[in-house]
Structure 1
Amino acid sequence: MALWNRLKESAQTMQAQLEERRNELRGGAFRDASMAVCALVAAADGTVEPAERRRVSYLIANNEVLRNFPADELRSLFEDRLDAIAADRERGRADALQEIAKVRRKPLEARAVVQIGILIAGADGRFDLAERAVVREVCQALDLPPHEFDL
């Protein structure tokens, strides 16, 4: 119970931080990296059930920060990235990480991408080991220390 409360509190803090900087998070590289992290998190356990796709699509469409972008555009980017991972897991993951790395030199966007990944991962009330590993890998791609995000 304590872990869940800490996760929930952390997610609320992250969402508030993102909302404060919302107007600064409008670039195409941020949009693409955000959808790549969402796809990586959704596919973290090796499979993506239709219900999980719908849940993540819903979360993307209703995230206040991501509302800077058209919902249909985000959904399409997310679905395309998931399809690429499903078609060839290793190449799809590598391509997603490469897309994410494009915001490496933009600290605000890089941290926001990690935070979005954590928010998506924890939205179901769990932040399992596979999801944590994916977010740590994203931190490495962005040259960010995982401990900054309690990973």
Structure 2
Amino acid sequence: MALWDRVKESASTMQTQLNAKKNDLKSGAFRDASMAMCALVAAADGTIDPSERRKVAQLIATNDVLANFPADDLRRRFEANCDKLAADFDFGKVSVLQEVAKAKKKPAEARAVVQIGIVIGGADGDFDKDERQVVRDACYALDLPPHEFDL
């Protein structure tokens, strides 16, 4: 199987698993951590170009699991995290990873946050090394072993 197909299959599998848990993923901690994760993936290479920001915002707006929350609230939180990362990537990353860590008290939510990162990162069929690294960093912030997610 080609790498492209494996990436798309993995993202699809993660989305299916997320959909199965949708009713359990309604906490503010999950919401905040998910938007932080989306911003990390959008800025994975250290910059956020406007088209990448729009693309991720669109994926957030159309994700079934995230439909548990008002779209304008999600967008505001995503944009605030992106702004932190754009202002100073290294310092912003520390702050955004602290947002991600809010979900670590509930293992199901923590895993779902990582899965959202994989879904967002793999949506274009190319879950690149920078995206994999920020999702791996999020695993550490959530006290989850990256190998559980093939990272």
TM-score tier, shorter chain, comes to: over 0.9
After the TM superposition, which parts of structure 1 deviate over 6 Å for at least 4 consecutive aligned residues? none
Within 5 Å, give how 1:2-151 maps onto structure 2: 2-151=2-151
TM-score by length of 1: 0.97
Across the two proteins, how many residue pairs are aligned to each other? 151
Give the deviation of 1:87 after TM superposition. Answer: 1.1
3-state SS of 2:104 partner: coil
Distance in 1 between the 2:45 and 2:117 partners?
Answer: 14
Distance in 2 between the 1:103 and 1:77 partners?
Answer: 15
Give yes or no for contact 2:32–2:102 (8 Å, CA) kept in 1: no
Unpaired runs of at least 5, structure 2? none
Distance in 2 between the 1:88 and 1:8 partners?
Answer: 31
TM-score by length of 2: 0.97
Give the deviation of 1:92 after TM superposition. Answer: 1.1
Give yes or no for contact 2:42–2:56 (8 Å, CA) kept in 1: yes
Distance in 1 between the 2:130 and 2:89 partners?
Answer: 15
**Paired amino acid for 1:118:** I
Q: Deviations over 1:68-122 (max 9, x none)?
A: 0011110110011100111122221111111111111210000000000011111
Give the deviation of 1:5 after TM superposition. Answer: 1.1
CA RMSD of aligned residues (A): 0.9
Unpaired runs of at least 5, structure 1? none
**Paired amino acid for 2:37:** V
